[in-house]
């Protein structure tokens, strides 16, 4: 069904491109503006849980996702030194039966390629690369968007331009994120270089004092994605493209279980990067009239619940539903914000809590481990059951 509204999206990452696809599928005309030369995503692995994969499947992306993903059998938490399993949840066929969608492990670049291919194929999406947004103006009838080289006019503007969002800054001024005291490492390990059975087909989190180590398969099991977070100060570079040194990573995890040492020994040095983790408190307001925010621009999420991308994908579906349900754009964007603020704030806060829980030591860690064995998957169940496709 054709829709006469023309929506502009600043930022062609996972959230922005998903939003473009959702809107285009409902007949909206969408202009997607990306400051880079192409729609690409840096980084390594990403976890896509059922609360967001149902949105991607609804867009018809299931075949492409399955061809590029790894389907994990569950999640587990292990002790940093002994390797003992603290808690384990198995997915199996019941996960799809229960939630109506699978859990994928996928390389960020592969996910972005799936989204970009679909966007290029959509007749309702116009992609503008090398288009850095510099500002906007709005009145009661439209929004005018300015880039380095030209201006555009449309019905609404969605700022999906990340934690350093220009759109957010133009509305609310400069608000510097706070350093969390954590530095994250990411790396890839070729699976064929590891002993058989070393890495189980699960998302595995090793808990240790002041640090943790996560690994899981991507690229159909051909690569192991590693994300390692360490509490440290004196280095606060927030960049996904800052190379790291294997010797420093090895020193950070000295004394950890032999499985971790073997992973570190086989890391592809060219894939090793580190970045400082920054955080923002939940925002009290996202948008003004015909302009609003999406994803990390309004709710950047630490990687301790594996929900950052999932929240932006959920945003995309709810935003589309609201714009379709309300003829008045301002009312639609206000409704979208109202529906999303509480859930995304809870995920932000939960991720922040996990950053402390994962790194406990001594007696607190002992009681954490006992609780984890008892608590099981309650939180995951509540998280996965959310259906953004029904929110409007």
Distances (CA, A) of 230 to 210, 269, 356: 6, 19, 11
Please enumerate in sequence order all residues whose Cβ is within 8 A of that of 24, keeping only pairs 6 or more positions apart, or say none.
30, 119, 122, 123, 124, 125
DSSP structure string for 286-313: --BTTEEE-GGGT----TTSS-HHHHHH
DSSP label of 70: B
Residue with tokens 């800052």: 242
Choosing from 99, 216, 273, 392, which is the catalytic residue? 216
With 0-12 CB in 10 A as exposed, 13-18 as middle and 19+ as buried, what is 6?
A: middle
Grouping H, G, I as helix, E, B as strand and the rest as coil, residue 151 is: strand
Beta strands 125-128; 29-33: pairing state? parallel
- Contact by Cβ (8 Å): 121, 108: no
DSSP structure string for 308-335: HHHHHHHHHHHHHHHHHH-SSHHHHHHH
Structure tokens at 31: 């202009």
CA–CA dist 55, 17 (Å, integer)? 13
336 flagged as catalytic: no
Phi then psi for 218, rounded to 5 degrees?
-135, 180
CA–CA dist 293, 299 (Å, integer)? 9
End-to-end C-alpha distance for the chain, whole angstroms: 18
Give residue 150's Cα distance to chain centre: 31
Dihedral sign of CA atoms 292, 296, 297, 298 in order = positive
Number of H-type helices and E-type strands within the chain: 12, 17
CA–CA dist 15, 21 (Å, integer)? 10
Grouping H, G, I as helix, E, B as strand and the rest as coil, residue 86 is: strand
Residues forming the active site? 216
């Amino acid at each position: 069904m054709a829709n006469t509204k023309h929506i502009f999206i600043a930022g062609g990452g996972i959230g922005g491109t998903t939003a473009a696809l959702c809107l285009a599928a409902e007949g909206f005309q969408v202009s997607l503006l990306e400051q880079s030369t192409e729609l690409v995503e840096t980084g390594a692995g990403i976890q896509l849980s059922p609360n967001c994969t149902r949105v991607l499947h609804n867009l018809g992306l299931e075949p492409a996702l399955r061809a590029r993903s790894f389907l994990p059998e569950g999640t587990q938490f292990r002790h940093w030194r002994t390797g003992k399993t603290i808690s384990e949840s198995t997915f199996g066929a019941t996960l799809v039966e229960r939630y109506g969608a699978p859990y994928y492990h996928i390389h960020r670049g592969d996910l972005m390629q799936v989204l970009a291919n679909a966007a290029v194929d959509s007749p309702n999406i116009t992609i503008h690369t090398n288009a850095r947004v510099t500002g906007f103006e709005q009145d009661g009838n439209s929004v005018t968007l300015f880039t380095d080289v030209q201006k555009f006019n449309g019905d609404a503007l969605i700022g999906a331009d990340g934690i350093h969002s220009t759109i957010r800054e133009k509305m609310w001024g400069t608000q510097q994120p706070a350093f969390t005291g954590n530095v994250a490492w990411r790396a890839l390990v070729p699976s064929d270089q590891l002993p058989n059975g070393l890495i189980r087909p699960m998302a595995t989190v090793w808990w240790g004092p002041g640090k943790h180590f996560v690994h899981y398969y991507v690229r159909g099991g051909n690569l192991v994605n590693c994300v390692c977070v360490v509490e440290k100060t004196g280095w606060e570079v927030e960049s996904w493209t800052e190379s790291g040194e294997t010797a420093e990573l090895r020193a950070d995890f000295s004394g950890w279980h032999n499985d971790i040492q073997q992973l570190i020994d086989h890391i592809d040095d060219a894939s090793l990067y580190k970045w400082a983790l920054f955080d923002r408190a939940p925002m009290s307001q996202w948008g003004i009239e015909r302009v609003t925010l999406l994803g990390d621009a309004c709710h950047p999420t630490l990687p301790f619940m594996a929900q950052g991308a999932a929240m932006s994908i959920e945003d995309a579906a709810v935003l589309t539903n609201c714009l379709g349900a309300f003829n008045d754009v301002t009312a639609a964007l206000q409704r979208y914000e109202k529906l999303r603020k509480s859930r995304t704030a809870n995920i932000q806060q939960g991720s922040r809590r996990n950053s402390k829980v994962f790194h406990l030591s001594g007696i607190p860690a002992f009681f954490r481990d006992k609780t984890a064995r008892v608590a099981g998957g309650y939180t995951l169940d509540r998280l996965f059951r959310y259906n953004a496709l029904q929110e409007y």
